[in-house]
Structure 1
Amino acid sequence: MQQASHPTVILGGGFAGLFTALHLSHQNYLRPIILIEQRDRFSFKPLLYELLSEELHSEQVYPRYKDLLAGSRVTFVQDTVKSINIHECKVTVASGKVFDYNNLILALGGKTTYFNTPGAAEHAMPFTSGAEAIALRKHLRHRLHLAIQTQDLERRRLLLTVAIIGAGPAGIELACTLADLLPIWYDDLGGDASEIRVVLINRSREILKGDINSSLRCLAQRALKRRVIPVDFVFDAAVIKIQADGIEYWQQDQTRFLQAGTIAWTAGTTPNPLLIELPIPEKRRDKRGRLVVTPTLQLPDFPEVFVAGDCAADSDNPQPPTAQVAYQQGIAIARNLQYFQENKPTVPVQVHMRGTLMKLGLNEGVANLFNKVQIKGQPGHFIREATYLELLPTPGRNLKLTTEWLTDKLFHRHRPFSHMQLGQTPWLYGVATVAAGVILASPLVWRAAQPNQFQQNLSWTGVPTLLNQLAPPPSQ
């Protein structure tokens, strides 16, 4: 029998797990809260491209859990989960410690899958965490330094070719970022930026196939071609093998080979192996092995266990594996845990999709608001970063980092790249500043004219909170 004194244990410190922990801490929740995560830093996945390019600071995109959880009632345990016993309500970690729990939240996220492709794990670089983004940055800079020092044209061509496997959102955003960024880095070293090649390899002919962003396919294709170095496409290509110096693939009934000094893998993820080990029958799983949950995100046979993010499958209400979904699930689970503690019935989780956001190069993006209105270019980039930064944990941190970001954007501080090499001029920067001012001023006018409607329609973006801090309304 469960003991009331046992804590609520959260496995996984991604969006769903972290926000569940923080919202529990802010509620009148009586039980201890333990968050177990093997890494010491939170990876803000939608903004890893900005970490790679250094458009944003490491503290903004890759903060330490001890900083995020400072002052909260959450106990952070940095350790690796080895086993979960859902019959005895126990979790065992690598250090040998065993945690008894009253409630368990499975928010372990997914793992990069290479689909048993020979050589992929050894030679392809994944891009799912802050550590991987930093590793890719160091690798790319090293390749550029080697290239500038060699007179061998064939070797330089190899070093300056980047292949990205997978044309989903991550592959497209990474390709757009690198096609703008690498020419700038190489030019700074004195190299010829036109020698750089970025290649996007995809199994099918369609990019964003089956993705929530599929409506942005044409826009993304145009963006890939309009970069400082246009991105090359290799489609209908099945990767056979990956080597240290390139990719072997099958296309048009023959085997081909692409030489590449850098190979990035964005082709897919698989559920955490710990989920597969759970004694849950196949009928309670989807075809990928994720756990089927009730509308309240609980396991049907284990109501004390909540499941979120990439671990959960709800056939009646499927959700894409995005940050906004995991964020809302974390809030909803925290609320249901409160009900659970008070012996009240839990309520179905309502996730509201507010559109999608994509990075399409340095200082360029698209905000597809409510999947109806597309805001492109630099305004889209502005909205994308502002919206994501407002999701950063803890209100004080949101305000501080968003204000820093806004100041950097308006006054062009901490730029790691040359704006002139992006085809921009001081005049264009002035226009961009005016545009940013218009973007800021319009909400102020709306807030003043229709405060209730403004709060209701834009609360999800974090804009009302930001404006209230930067420019309080007269009544405050």
Structure 2
Amino acid sequence: MRSPAQIYATNDPLPIVILGGGFAGLFTALHLRDLHSCPISLIDQSWNFVFKPLLYELLTSEVKLELICPRYDQLLHNSGITFVLGTVAAIDLHQKEVKLNSGLKYSYRHLVLALGSTTSYLAIPGAEEHTRSFRTAYDVFALGQHLRNRLQLATQTEDLAERRALLTVTIIGAGASGVEMAATLADLLPTWYIPLGGNPEDIRIVILQRGSEILKESTSDRLRKTAQSALKGRTASVEVLLGSEVKAVHPGAIEFERNGQLERLAAATVVWTAGNATHPVIDALPIAPENRDKHNRLLVKPTLQLPEFPEVFAAGDCAIDPSNPQPATAQVAYQQGAAIAHNIKALIAGKSLTPATVNLRGTLIKLGLHESAVEIFDHYEIKGHLGHAIRLATYLELMPTPARNFVNRTGWFTEEILKQIAGV
């Protein structure tokens, strides 16, 4: 294998290519904006960055679209970084070349893999065809329009069984996304239904969870109990059916097995939050099996380099450092982006690389309209409206957008609270 000196001691004009404009990819690019020794390209299949943690606030109109879905060309304006709109078709790690579906090809000096994950439907019949995802702004508006339509239809039907189905929303998966979705809809749908003359008590939110508890791998026991209590206190009813394994999804109904019995639930809306899979392009890379985990994610060194291809870095949902595994969250990904940029600069300058360090402030979870729970430094919990204010300001602080104007006015608020709680 070539030594780092042999790989990086070069003045060739090949660029740094960043694949994926999520938190890891975008923040890698932004932290490289002062590097002028070689060109930098950021490639993504969408025009817009999507701040996924705040998609619930987009659904509820608590934040505006332009705040959480800014265009990449605006974010990178005057940065010297080239944005390329395109879908990655293949990566040739040996030839150091990226191919796009458009036919364009990009050779690279350094490559950053930040393609994120895709939805896994776990081979459940009908799941992909008959459920709704919640990953993009389009998903948000499509779900909102669908739900409003179901509520309208419910006010015009005389059939009680049909009305019950129209007012039933089933969420598959009780991880953080499923719990946040359930709590949000349980407060939001009544505000839409009451003006139509409907009874909010008729709305039914059902979570189907295969495992025996909610938020199994996402949070602490204390925050889990807070979430369980919050789900019981929403405006509309939320039912959590644990030990429920979905077997099939049909138009307007779900089949699942619980306690050894096959059950059928009529629901006009089914939201899928149950599983993620690695990106197909990542799956196709010629990486040895011992350098992947059981989920097929790429194993990286503490410096976030691929062991077999040290000129390639990987972060976010598609990679994991087995010596220091981190949750797949925004606060982890943006710090990894900064670490990758630092190490690329070090390589170009002939300096030593440093392991990526991630400092987790804690866990933030939305639990209804204007309500959240925040566990800071895994020791202190703040919930309700104050928790919501901290969650929103903390997320906005990450945004490389006009949100920073808001943060400049409110950032002192969250910082002082954090310092007082931490005793620093």
Is TM (by shorter chain) over 0.5?
yes
- Once residues 3 and 127 of structure 1 are traced to their aligned partners in structure 2, the CA distance between those partners, rounded to angstroms, is 44
Pairing partner for 1:398 from 394, 400, 403: 403
Q: Look up the match of 1:321.
A: 328
Pairing partner for 1:202 from 191, 206, 209: 209
| 1:349 alignment partner AA | A
Is 2:137 the partner of 1:130?
Answer: yes
Q: Look up the match of 1:274.
A: 281
Structure 2 counterparts to residues 303-382 of structure 1, below 5 A:
303-382=310-389
Pairing partner for 1:9 from 17, 26, 29: 17
- Once residues 230 and 30 of structure 1 are traced to their aligned partners in structure 2, the CA distance between those partners, rounded to angstroms, is 58
Q: CA RMSD in A?
A: 2.2
| 1:398 alignment partner AA | A
For the residue of structure 2 that corresponds to 1:299, the secondary structure is: coil
The Cα shift of 1:443 comes to 3.5
Is 2:285 the partner of 1:253?
Answer: no
- Once residues 210 and 36 of structure 2 are traced to their aligned partners in structure 1, the CA distance between those partners, rounded to angstroms, is 48
Say if 2:366 and 2:372, in contact at 8 Å, map to a contact too.
Answer: yes
TM-score (norm 2): 0.93
For the residue of structure 2 that corresponds to 1:247, the secondary structure is: strand
Q: Which moved more, 1:135-144 or 1:260-269?
A: 135-144
Q: Look up the match of 1:416.
A: none
TM-score (norm 1): 0.83
Deviations 1:406-439 (A, max 9, x none): 7xxxxxxxxxxxxxxxxxxxxxxxxxxxxx9xx9
Pairing partner for 1:104 from 97, 107, 111: 111
- Once residues 17 and 213 of structure 1 are traced to their aligned partners in structure 2, the CA distance between those partners, rounded to angstroms, is 29
| 2:142 alignment partner AA | A
Q: Which moved more, 1:164-173 or 1:228-237?
A: 228-237
The Cα shift of 1:3 comes to 6.5
The Cα shift of 1:131 comes to 2.0
Q: Look up the match of 2:43.
A: 36
The Cα shift of 1:46 comes to 0.8
Which is bigger in relative contact order (C-alpha 8 A, separation at least 6)? Answer: 2
Say if 1:208 and 1:214, in contact at 8 Å, map to a contact too.
Answer: no
Pairing partner for 1:59 from 55, 66, 75: 66
- Once residues 262 and 66 of structure 2 are traced to their aligned partners in structure 1, the CA distance between those partners, rounded to angstroms, is 45
The Cα shift of 1:190 comes to 2.0
- Give the 3 Å change call, closer, same or farther, for CA 180–105 of structure 1 in structure 2: same
For the residue of structure 2 that corresponds to 1:142, the secondary structure is: helix
- Once residues 166 and 381 of structure 1 are traced to their aligned partners in structure 2, the CA distance between those partners, rounded to angstroms, is 23
- Once residues 294 and 442 of structure 1 are traced to their aligned partners in structure 2, the CA distance between those partners, rounded to angstroms, is 32
For the residue of structure 2 that corresponds to 1:171, the secondary structure is: helix
For the residue of structure 2 that corresponds to 1:105, the secondary structure is: strand
Structure 2 counterparts to residues 438-453 of structure 1, below 5 A:
440=413, 443=416
Gaps of 5+ in 2: 1-6
For the residue of structure 2 that corresponds to 1:298, the secondary structure is: coil
Aligned-pair identity in percent equals 49
The Cα shift of 1:366 comes to 1.0
Pairing partner for 1:300 from 299, 307, 311: 307
When the two structures are aligned, how many residues end up with a matched partner?
415
- Once residues 335 and 263 of structure 1 are traced to their aligned partners in structure 2, the CA distance between those partners, rounded to angstroms, is 43
- Once residues 174 and 63 of structure 1 are traced to their aligned partners in structure 2, the CA distance between those partners, rounded to angstroms, is 23
- Once residues 401 and 260 of structure 1 are traced to their aligned partners in structure 2, the CA distance between those partners, rounded to angstroms, is 40
Is 2:138 the partner of 1:165?
Answer: no
- Once residues 210 and 60 of structure 1 are traced to their aligned partners in structure 2, the CA distance between those partners, rounded to angstroms, is 30
| 1:134 alignment partner AA | F
For the residue of structure 1 that corresponds to 2:240, the secondary structure is: strand
The Cα shift of 1:212 comes to 3.5
The Cα shift of 1:33 comes to 1.0
| 1:22 alignment partner AA | L
Say if 2:203 and 2:237, in contact at 8 Å, map to a contact too.
Answer: no
Pairing partner for 2:29 from 12, 18, 21: 21
Structure 1: 4+ residue segments shifted above 6 A: none
| 1:21 alignment partner AA | A
- Once residues 413 and 320 of structure 2 are traced to their aligned partners in structure 1, the CA distance between those partners, rounded to angstroms, is 39
- Once residues 113 and 196 of structure 1 are traced to their aligned partners in structure 2, the CA distance between those partners, rounded to angstroms, is 28
Say if 1:3 and 1:102, in contact at 8 Å, map to a contact too.
Answer: no
Deviations 1:17-49 (A, max 9, x none): 001011101x33421110110011111111110
Is 2:78 the partner of 1:71?
Answer: yes
| 2:405 alignment partner AA | K
The Cα shift of 1:322 comes to 0.5
- Once residues 42 and 139 of structure 1 are traced to their aligned partners in structure 2, the CA distance between those partners, rounded to angstroms, is 24
| 1:177 alignment partner AA | T
- Once residues 327 and 379 of structure 2 are traced to their aligned partners in structure 1, the CA distance between those partners, rounded to angstroms, is 18
Structure with bigger helix share is 1
Q: Look up the match of 1:115.
A: 122
| 1:114 alignment partner AA | Y
| 2:115 alignment partner AA | L
- Once residues 78 and 166 of structure 2 are traced to their aligned partners in structure 1, the CA distance between those partners, rounded to angstroms, is 47
| 1:400 alignment partner AA | N
